[in-house]
Structure 1
Amino acid sequence: MIDAPEVEREAPSEPLVALARACGVSVEYYAIDGTQVQCSAAAIRAALTSMGLDASSDVACERTLEGLEDQEWARLVPPITVLCAGESREIPVHVIDGDPASLGLRLESGEERALEQLDRWVPPRKVGVQTLGRATFEVPGDLPLGWHVVEAETKGRRGRGYVVVTPARVTMRDDVRAHRPWGLTVQLYSLRSARSWGIGDLADLADLCALGKSRGEADFVLINPLHATEPVPPISNSPYLPTSKRYMSPLYIRVEDIPEVAYLPSQQRALLAWEAERPQRTNDTDELLDRNAIWRLKSAALEEVFLAPRSAGREALFEAFCLREGAALEDFATWCAIAEAHKGLPWPDEFDSPASPAVARWRDEHADRVLYYAWLQWICEAQLADAQATAKRAGMSIGVMIDLAVGVHPEGADAWSYQRVLAQGQSMGAPPDFYNALGQDWSIPPWQPRALEAAAYLPFRDMVRAAIRNAGALRIDHVLGMFRQWWVPEGHIPVDGVYVYVDHEALIGIIALEAERAGALVIGEDLGTVEPWVREYLHERGLLGTSITWFERHDDGAPRLPEHYRADTLAAVTTHDLPPTGAYLAGEHVRLRAELGMLGGGSIEDAQAEAERERQAFIDIMLERGWILGDYNEEDLIAGLHRWVLESPALLTGVAVTDAVGERRAQNMPGTDTEYPNWCVPVTDGNGVPVLLDDLFEHPRVRRLFRAIKHARG
C-alpha cells in the first residue's frame, strides 16, 4: 500500500461535532488498518450544507441544532413511519396547544380505521410565535404488509403520511432452501447469439435461461445492471454508471421480437434485416463492443417500428403502462428527448428542473419524441418480462437475477428528476484501503437522507419496485450503502470525506417489502470491510450476502475452507471486477496490473510470488481432498474451485460463463478508465475464439464443467 496524501484536517469544534452527530455525519472513523482518523471540519461542514443545514459557524451550528427539533414539531404528522409486521408504533401529531387532533388510517385495501389516542401528556413547545402541543396515537400491530396512509386533522389543518409495514424477514421458499440452486453469471452484453445486433440482448437472456435449465439444470441467470444509458452517442460503457436506475437501456431490445415488426410492409422488413446484418457480422469476432455504432443502427430501426400502427389492444397496453408509470416516465422521457436535441451541448438554464415552465412548454412542443422514449421503455419491460416468463416455463426456480447499481450519472436523468432528494455537491466513494491509498470517488450523487425521508422514501421505493418487478432475484451492488455512505465533497480529494449514516431499517425494510410482494430473493454485495452487525442485520431480515472464493481468507491469508463459509450467501469463485479464473490461475492479472501501473510500490516479481503462493494454497487443499488429481490441468483447477464453492453451505452458487469457456480477458479492471477496455470485451474461450450463445452449451469446456458440477451436487 502506498502512502496516502496528507490532508489538512482542522479539528471540528464542539458545536459542529454536536450537529454532525445529530445528523448522522461522522466526525471520525476507523481506517482499514484499525487506526482512528479524524474527519476534517471542512468535509463535515460540506456534508451538512448538502443536507440544507447551516453549519457555517459555531453560532449557526448551535442555532441549526436547536431548530432540528423545532422542525419535527412543526410537522403535523411524520411523512413516513416504517415498521415490521407485528410491531405497534406511536405516531405524534403536532397541533396548536389545546386544539383537538385526530388520526385516521387508510389501508391499501381501502379499509379505514380510526387510531386510538393515548393518554399521554407531553410538555408543549414554543416554535416561533406558536405554542405547539403533541397528541400521541398508536398504530396497532395487526396491520397487513403494505403502504398505508395516515391522515391527521386539527383546526384548519390536515396532513398525511405513510405507515409502511414490512416483513420481519423476506420469505425463503422451502424448495429453494432444500435444493440450494446454482446458476450462471454473465455480463449480458458480452454474450451474443447469431441474431444479436452486435451485443447480447433480452432475447438472448431468454434463450440463456431456457438453455441453462435444460442443458445444465441451472436455476438462475445473474446479469449486469440493465439501467438506462444516454439516449444518443457517446454512450457510457459502464453498466454501473447509468443515467437512470428506474428505467432500462433500449440497447438490450431485440428489434425483431417487437410484435409490430411482423406487420411492417415487406420492403421495410427487408430493410430492417439488411440493417441488422451489419452489427451481426461482428458477433463471431473478438472485436471490442462498440455501443455507439450498435445504437446508431438499432435506434434507426426502432424509430421505424415505433411509427408502425399498433392494434387497439396493444395501444391500450401502452397507455396503461404510461398511466402506471405516471410523472416519473414523463420526466425520464422528456430528459431523453432534451438530451437528444442538445447532443452533448449544455442545456439552457431554464431547463434545470423537470418542473420548470420552460420544460413543460418544450415537452408539449416535442410530444412525439417524448412518446417515443416512453415507448422504448414499454418495449424494454415487455421483453424483460418475457425473459423471466421463459425462465419460469423452462423450470428455473428463480430465473433472472437483476443487478442494481450503486448510483447514477451526476448529469443523467435521475440526477435531473430527483435532484431534490440527492445531495448536491457530494459524490459517493470509498475511503483509502490497502488497494487504493487515495480513496475512491465514484462520481455519483448520493441520496440526501433528510430529503429522502421527507419524500417518504417514494423515489427509493419506486426504483426498487421497478428493478424487481420482472425478476426472480435482485442483487444490490454495495449493499453497505444502505447503512452508511462515504461522501466526498466537491473540490475535495477522496481521502478527505465523511461517512453519512442513513436509516438502514427504513431502506432495508422497503427492499424486503417489495421483494416479498414480488416473490423474489435479495442478495447484498457485502464484500470488503464490513462491521459484523451489518451482516447479522441483513441475515435477520432475510437478505443474502456474497461470498467470493478469492476473498474468503483468514487474517493470515490462508484460504477459508468451504465448510466455514456463511450459509446465507450467493457464493462464487469470481466476480465481474476480478479476472476470469483461468487468468487468475495463470497469474495474468499480475502482468496486466503491472502494465497498467497498478502494483503500487511493489515489484512485479514480489506480486507474482504472492500470486503463486495464493494459487498453491488452494491447489494443496484441493489435492488433499481429492477434488483434483496430481496431473491436473487448468480445466481441472477451475472445476475443483467450483467444487469448492459447491461444498460450502451457501444457499446459492454462481458459475461465471467466462470461467465455463476459459476466457482470459477481464470484463473490468477497477481503478482504470481509458487504460483498459472495461465493459467492452465479448465472450471468447481460452484460445481467444468467440463463443456464441448458440454454441455455448456444446463447447467442450462447458460440457466438462457442467458434468463436474452435476457430479459435485450428487
Structure 2
Amino acid sequence: MTTSTLDMFMGLKSINPNFVDAWGNPAQVTEENIRSIIDKMGFDSSDDAQLMSHYNEHEKRHWLSPLSPVIVCQKNSEYVIEVRLPIDLAAQEITCKFILEDKSESVHQICATNFPLVATKIISDIEYQCYSVTLAVDLPFGYHSLSLFEANIDEAMATMSFIVTPKSCYTPKAIEQGEKLWGTSVQLYCLKSEANWGIGDFSDLKLLLAKTKENGGEFIGLNPIHALSPSQPSNVSPYSPSSRKWLNILYTDITAVDEFTRNSALKTKVSSDDFKQKLTALRNTDWVNYEEVTALKLSALRDLFATLNDQSAESAVRLNAFTQYVDEKGESLIQQASYDALQFYFLEKDANSWGWPVWPEAFQAFQNEAAQTWIKENEAEVLFWCYTQWVAELQLEEADKVAKSLGMTLGIYRDLAVGVGVSSSEIWANHSLYCEHISVGAPPDILGPLGQSWGLPPIAPDQLQETAYQPFIDLLKSNMSHCGALRIDHVMALLRLWWVPEGASADKGAYIYYQVEDMLNLLALESVRNECLVIGEDLGTVPDGIDVLLKEAGVYSYKVFFFEQAEDGGYISPEHYAGQAMATLSTHDMPTIKGFWHCEDLHLGRQLGLYPDQAIYETLLNDRLICKQKILDSLHGHGSLPADYPRDALYVGMDQTLNFALQTHLATGSSALLSLQLEDFLQMDQPVNVPGTSDEYRNWQRKLSQTLEQLFNNDGIKVLCENLTNARHR
C-alpha cells in the first residue's frame, strides 16, 4: 500500500489525526479538518501536486545538506550524528571541527564509510548516502557548533548548531534534601498598597517577598509579567501578550527609578494635593483603572527619560549604563521598542489603528524598508521605549536580589504564557516563524465541552528546527532571569499543540507535534544555567507517557486539589500526591475557594449566559454539592477539621475555619511545593478571570480586598501562615 500525498504531507508537518480524548476514548480528526489546517498554513490542500512538490523540495534540501540545522543531546562521552554526502565524498577524509561556546576548538578526522550506512537517495542522477557517525569528544554543557570540511578546503561544507545539555532541570539542594516549601501566588496588578499608583508594582513585590518570608513562606508566584500594549491599556490579559520576552512596564514603581530623585519638577508634581488625590482614587478602587494608570505612568516615564538625557554629570553614569543595556539586548529590544513607538504613532493618525495587521502594508513587518526608515528617523522615541524596559527590568532584578538576600529558597517564580496575541510585536518582528491564520487551544474536554481557541498563533515545528530552536532558547533565557522558578503554562506545548484554523470552532482542530526531547533538553540546560526550578502546568488532555518524560526531565508537576479525585469521586489524600510537584487549591482560571463553595462561579456563568439552558446550570449545582460533600468527608477523615465541625455540605457555608483548614490540609501533603492564592487568604469570592468570556466580565482587573500592609497585620492570616509552616515542616 502506498502512502497518500496527504499522509506524507501530514508527516512532514507533524500533524497527527489520532489522539485520546479527555474521557480516555480514541479520537480521530476528520480529513476535512486536516485539510482546513493545511490551507491556513498557506498551502492548497486540494492540490496534491503542490503538496507533493513541497514535500519533494523539503526532502531534496534535506539530502543536499550534509548536516541538519541542529542537534540537541544530553552530555555523553560520544555523540551520534547523521552525515549526508554525495557518494564520491563518502570515502574521503573529512574534518569535523567543533567550536565550543568558549571559542575553543576540537578537531577530528573521519571517513564516513567507516560508519554504518543508514539510507541513500538519488538526486539528479547522483547518489547521496547517509551515515550514522559516532564522534568521541568531551563537550561541556552549552551551545556549540560543528562544521565539516573537505581536505584542503577552508570553507565549511556544512555547519550545525550542536547543543549539549544536562539530563534534567535544576532543583535547589534544600528541596533535594526533603524540605517542603510553601508560598503564595498573585496576579501582580491585583496588589493594593499604601504607596502604589493604583496597580501592583515591583516595589509591592519586594514588600510581599519580605512579609511572606517573615511569615514562613519561601516564594511568590506571579502571573505572567510579559509586555502588553501600552497604547491599548484595555487589552490586559497577561496570557495574550505582545511579547513574552519583555516586561509589562506598568509594574515599574515610578518613585523608585533613579531619575525620579533628580527630577525636582516631577517630585513636586507627585507630592501636590491634586496628584495625591488622583493616586488615592486609583488605589481605592476594587478594579484596576488601566487607562488612567497607564496615562499617569507614561507621562512620568517621559519626564524621567528627559532627566536621563539632561546632559548633567549626575546623569552621565546612568546614561552610559542604559546605552550598554541597549547594546547588550540587541535587535530584540529594538523590535519591542519600535513596535510600541509605532503603535502610538499610528493611533494618533487613526483611532482604529490597533496594531500591525491594520497598518499600511509597508509598516506591517519590522524588516520592511519603510519601518526601518521610520525607526532611524525617530531614534529618540524608540530609545524612550527601550528605557521603559530597562527601568522595569532593573526593578525586577532588585526584587529578585531582595528574595535572595532574605534567604528564600525560590523567591520569585515567574509564569510563561503559551503564546502571543495576533497583533503582538513578536509576530510583527518574526512573521516567518508563525502560522498567523491558526490559533492554539484545546480539544473538547470535561472543563470545556466545546473546546477552546485562545487566539494565539503557533510557531511551526519545522521553523523552530530551522532556526536551531533559537526563539525557544531566547524565551527561556529571558523568563528564567531574575527568579528562582518558572511555571510553564500548558506544558503540553513542549510535546504538541491543538491547532484551530482561523474561523473554525475549537473542535475542528488537530494536534501538531514538536520535538519534545529536544525541547526538554533545552529546558534543562537553561534551568541549570539559571538555577531555576521548572513547574509544568500539566492539566487538560494529557497523553500517556508525557508524565514520565516530564518527571525524568526534572519538571515539577502541577496538582490542583479540586481535580485530584479518585474513581469514586472522593478526593485523593495530599499525602499521596507526587513529591516532584507543586500542589495548589485553585488557579487563575478557577473560582476562589469561597467562590467555589458558594457556587459563585456557576451563578456568574448563568448570569453571563455561559450555559445553554437552566437544566445544565442545575446539573452543575448538583454536581458541586456532591463535590463539596466529598471534600468535607475527606477533611474530617484526615482530622483536618474540628471534630464538632458540621458534616453536611448542604448546610455548611464557607467560613474562615473551613477555608483555612482546606489550605492547611493541602500543606500536610507530600508535594515539595505548595502554592496558595492571596485572595484565598483574604476569603474573597470574586474570580480574577472567567474563562470563555471577554467583555462579559472584567477579567484581569480585580484587586485584592486589602492592602499588603493590612493583610500581614491580620492576626488570622498570621496564624494561618504559622500553621502552613508547621504542616510543611512535618
* TM-score (normalised: structure 2): 0.91
* Aligned CA distance change for structure 1 residues 595 and 700 (closer, same or farther; 3 Å): farther
Structure 2 Cα separation of the partners of residues 661 and 537 of structure 1: 38
Structure 2 Cα separation of the partners of residues 140 and 380 of structure 1: 46
Cα drift, residue 466 of structure 1? 0.3
Cα drift, residue 556 of structure 1? 3.3
| Residue in structure 2 matched with residue 110 of structure 1 by the alignment | 103
2:335 alignment partner, one of 331, 352, 372 = 331
Q: Secondary structure of 1:441's partner?
A: strand
AA matched with 1:652: L
Structure 2 Cα separation of the partners of residues 136 and 276 of structure 1: 70
Q: After superposing the two structures, state which structure 1 stretch, 349-358 or 59-68, moved more.
A: 59-68
Cα drift, residue 571 of structure 1? 0.3
Structure 1 Cα separation of the partners of residues 233 and 294 of structure 2: 10
AA matched with 2:521: G
Q: Secondary structure of 2:15's partner?
A: coil
2:75 alignment partner, one of 64, 68, 85 = 85
Q: Does 1:656 align with 2:654?
A: no
Structure 1 Cα separation of the partners of residues 638 and 83 of structure 2: 65
Cα drift, residue 316 of structure 1? 2.6
| Residue in structure 2 matched with residue 634 of structure 1 by the alignment | 655
| Residue in structure 1 matched with residue 141 of structure 2 by the alignment | 145
Kept after mapping to 2: 8 A contact 1:169/1:512: yes
Q: Secondary structure of 1:311's partner?
A: helix
| Residue in structure 1 matched with residue 15 of structure 2 by the alignment | 25
**Once the two structures are superposed, what CA deviation does each residue of 1:224-256 show, in whole Å capped at 9, x if it has no partner?**
001001131344121110000000111100011
Cα drift, residue 578 of structure 1? 1.0
Structure 1 Cα separation of the partners of residues 635 and 27 of structure 2: 41
Kept after mapping to 2: 8 A contact 1:51/1:450: no
| Residue in structure 1 matched with residue 452 of structure 2 by the alignment | 440
| Residue in structure 2 matched with residue 687 of structure 1 by the alignment | none
| Residue in structure 1 matched with residue 213 of structure 2 by the alignment | 213
Structure 2 Cα separation of the partners of residues 598 and 87 of structure 1: 57
* Aligned CA distance change for structure 1 residues 445 and 654 (closer, same or farther; 3 Å): same
Q: After superposing the two structures, state which structure 1 stretch, 103-112 or 556-565, moved more.
A: 556-565
* Aligned CA distance change for structure 1 residues 98 and 614 (closer, same or farther; 3 Å): same
AA matched with 1:186: V
* Aligned CA distance change for structure 1 residues 102 and 360 (closer, same or farther; 3 Å): same
| Residue in structure 2 matched with residue 162 of structure 1 by the alignment | 161
Structure 2 Cα separation of the partners of residues 144 and 396 of structure 1: 30
AA matched with 1:166: T
1:679 alignment partner, one of 676, 700, 704 = 700
| Residue in structure 2 matched with residue 553 of structure 1 by the alignment | 565
AA matched with 1:620: D
Q: How does 1:509-658 map to 2 (within 5 A)?
A: 509-601=521-613, 602-629=615-642, 630-631=644-645, 634-658=655-679
Structure 1 Cα separation of the partners of residues 295 and 208 of structure 2: 26
AA matched with 1:272: V
Cα drift, residue 460 of structure 1? 1.1
* Aligned CA distance change for structure 1 residues 125 and 620 (closer, same or farther; 3 Å): closer
**Once the two structures are superposed, what CA deviation does each residue of 1:241-273 show, in whole Å capped at 9, x if it has no partner?**
000000011110001111111112x33311134
**Once the two structures are superposed, what CA deviation does each residue of 1:115-150 show, in whole Å capped at 9, x if it has no partner?**
342513646533347554556543436311111111
Q: Does 1:313 align with 2:317?
A: yes
Cα drift, residue 518 of structure 1? 0.5
Q: After superposing the two structures, state which structure 1 stretch, 648-657 or 416-425, moved more.
A: 416-425
1:58 alignment partner, one of 29, 48, 52 = 48
Aligned residues: 695
Structure 2 Cα separation of the partners of residues 603 and 132 of structure 1: 63
Kept after mapping to 2: 8 A contact 1:149/1:161: yes
Q: How does 1:185-200 map to 2 (within 5 A)?
A: 185-200=185-200
Kept after mapping to 2: 8 A contact 1:13/1:58: no
Structure 1 Cα separation of the partners of residues 135 and 46 of structure 2: 40
**Once the two structures are superposed, what CA deviation does each residue of 1:71-109 show, in whole Å capped at 9, x if it has no partner?**
211224211100012263322344444245432101112
Structure 1 portions without partners, runs of 5+: 1-11, 685-690
Q: After superposing the two structures, state which structure 1 stretch, 350-359 or 601-610, moved more.
A: 601-610
Kept after mapping to 2: 8 A contact 1:25/1:47: no
Q: Does 1:703 align with 2:724?
A: no
Q: How does 1:213-232 map to 2 (within 5 A)?
A: 213-214=213-214, 216-232=215-231
Kept after mapping to 1: 8 A contact 2:40/2:502: no
**Once the two structures are superposed, what CA deviation does each residue of 1:45-87 show, in whole Å capped at 9, x if it has no partner?**
3444566666443344444444443221122421110001226
Cα drift, residue 526 of structure 1? 0.4
| Residue in structure 1 matched with residue 30 of structure 2 by the alignment | 40
AA matched with 1:150: L
Q: Secondary structure of 2:281's partner?
A: coil
Q: Does 1:389 align with 2:401?
A: yes
Q: Secondary structure of 2:303's partner?
A: helix
* Aligned CA distance change for structure 1 residues 324 and 533 (closer, same or farther; 3 Å): same
Cα drift, residue 167 of structure 1? 1.0
Q: Secondary structure of 1:708's partner?
A: helix
Cα drift, residue 174 of structure 1? 2.4
**Once the two structures are superposed, what CA deviation does each residue of 1:542-563 show, in whole Å capped at 9, x if it has no partner?**
0101001001112332211212
Structure 2 Cα separation of the partners of residues 278 and 71 of structure 1: 66
* Aligned CA distance change for structure 1 residues 284 and 355 (closer, same or farther; 3 Å): closer
| Residue in structure 1 matched with residue 203 of structure 2 by the alignment | 203
Q: Does 1:287 align with 2:286?
A: yes
Structure 1 Cα separation of the partners of residues 364 and 399 of structure 2: 37
| Residue in structure 1 matched with residue 115 of structure 2 by the alignment | 120
Q: Does 1:268 align with 2:266?
A: yes
AA matched with 1:318: F
Kept after mapping to 2: 8 A contact 1:27/1:498: yes
Kept after mapping to 1: 8 A contact 2:282/2:289: no
Kept after mapping to 2: 8 A contact 1:197/1:294: yes
Structure 2 Cα separation of the partners of residues 461 and 494 of structure 1: 29
Structure 2 Cα separation of the partners of residues 703 and 337 of structure 1: 46
Q: After superposing the two structures, state which structure 1 stretch, 182-191 or 277-286, moved more.
A: 277-286
Q: Secondary structure of 1:163's partner?
A: strand
Q: Secondary structure of 1:314's partner?
A: helix
| Residue in structure 2 matched with residue 459 of structure 1 by the alignment | 471
Q: How does 1:346-385 map to 2 (within 5 A)?
A: 346-385=358-397
Kept after mapping to 2: 8 A contact 1:193/1:694: yes
Structure 2 portions without partners, runs of 5+: 309-313, 647-653
Kept after mapping to 2: 8 A contact 1:550/1:573: yes
Structure 2 Cα separation of the partners of residues 333 and 130 of structure 1: 50
Cα drift, residue 627 of structure 1? 1.3
Structure 1 Cα separation of the partners of residues 575 and 321 of structure 2: 50
Q: Secondary structure of 1:663's partner?
A: coil
Kept after mapping to 2: 8 A contact 1:283/1:692: no
Q: Secondary structure of 1:578's partner?
A: coil
Cα drift, residue 408 of structure 1? 0.4
| Residue in structure 1 matched with residue 650 of structure 2 by the alignment | none
Q: After superposing the two structures, state which structure 1 stretch, 138-147 or 549-558, moved more.
A: 138-147
Kept after mapping to 2: 8 A contact 1:116/1:137: no
Q: Secondary structure of 2:658's partner?
A: helix
Cα drift, residue 313 of structure 1? 2.9
Structure 2 Cα separation of the partners of residues 671 and 409 of structure 1: 16
| Residue in structure 1 matched with residue 651 of structure 2 by the alignment | none
* TM-score (normalised: structure 1): 0.93
Structure 2 Cα separation of the partners of residues 128 and 54 of structure 1: 27
Kept after mapping to 2: 8 A contact 1:284/1:692: no
Structure 2 Cα separation of the partners of residues 706 and 366 of structure 1: 52
* Aligned CA distance change for structure 1 residues 528 and 247 (closer, same or farther; 3 Å): same
Structure 1 Cα separation of the partners of residues 672 and 346 of structure 2: 49
Kept after mapping to 2: 8 A contact 1:192/1:283: no
Structure 2 Cα separation of the partners of residues 129 and 52 of structure 1: 32
**Once the two structures are superposed, what CA deviation does each residue of 1:555-604 show, in whole Å capped at 9, x if it has no partner?**
33221121221111110111111111122122222222222233455344
Structure 1 Cα separation of the partners of residues 49 and 572 of structure 2: 53
